[in-house]
């Protein structure tokens, strides 16, 4: 292994893209542990206990327990929202399990909201007597690095019973969300 010592690495005049590595390198490690911006910042969090919701109404899910929060941009105590202060495109995911207290016809919608408005969602419909179902939605979202935020919502339309977001099933997390930066 060789060692290169220098004070400055810069691009050739007239170019703006500096490439470190080649086709046979998949990572670049900085001795001081500094992050390069890819997949940072990032978070994942989950719902720690069941949350009752109103029938046929989009309700924000209070995803309140962080698995990790690189950058500290997820609010898990009051707003339950992610506001990364690093601009770029992020891969965002949301999985939610909706249950109802009695067997019912279900129409379940999980949605990612950006800045207070629905940005993307998934839909699951059960036309027979069921007690629940799960939906997952993903999206690539562009954040401005200052004020853009995302939140996670669930809407369950049932023919009878009380709908809720389920926190876990047999010890497995069933309602969770996360995001990570994939580029500029």
Alpha carbon distance 100, 165 (integer Å): 9
Beta strands in the chain (DSSP E): 42-46, 51-52, 59-60, 65-70, 74-75, 81-82, 88-114, 117-143, 150-158, 163-166, 168-169, 172-173, 176-183
Q: Which domain covers residue 110, as residue numbers?
A: 42-183
For the cut 70, the answer to whether the pLDDT of residue 45 exceeds it is: yes
Per-residue confidence at 15, pLDDT binned at 50, 70, 90?
confident
Residue 76 falls inside a structural domain: yes
For residues 53-78, give the mean pLDDT: 96
Structural domains in the chain (count)? 1
Residue 30 falls inside a structural domain: no
* Per-residue pLDDT tens digits for 149-172: 999 999 998 888 889 999 998 889
**Quick one: tokens of 102?**
């009695």
CA torsion sign, 124 to 127 to 132 to 133?
negative
| CATH code for the domain in which residue 66 is found | 2.60.120.40
């Amino acid at each position: 292994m060789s060692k290169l010592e220098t004070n400055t690495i810069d691009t050739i005049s007239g170019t703006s893209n500096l490439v470190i590595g080649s086709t046979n390198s998949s990572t670049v490690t900085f001795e001081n542990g500094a992050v390069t911006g890819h997949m940072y910042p990032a978070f994942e969090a989950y719902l720690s206990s069941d949350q009752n919701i109103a029938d046929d109404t989009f309700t924000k899910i209070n995803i309140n327990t962080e698995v990790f929060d690189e950058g500290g941009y997820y609010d898990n105590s009051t707003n339950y929202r992610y506001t990364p202060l690093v601009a770029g495109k992020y891969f965002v995911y949301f999985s939610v399990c909706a249950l109802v207290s009695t067997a019912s016809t279900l129409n379940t919608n999980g949605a990612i909201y950006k800045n207070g408005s629905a940005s993307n969602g998934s839909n699951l419909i059960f036309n027979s007597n069921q007690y629940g179902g799960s939906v997952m939605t993903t999206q690539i979202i562009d954040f401005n690095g200052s004020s853009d935020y995302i939140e996670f919502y669930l809407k369950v339309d049932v023919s009878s019973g009380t709908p809720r977001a389920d926190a876990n099933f047999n010890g497995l997390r069933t309602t969770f969300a996360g995001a990570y930066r994939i580029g500029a």
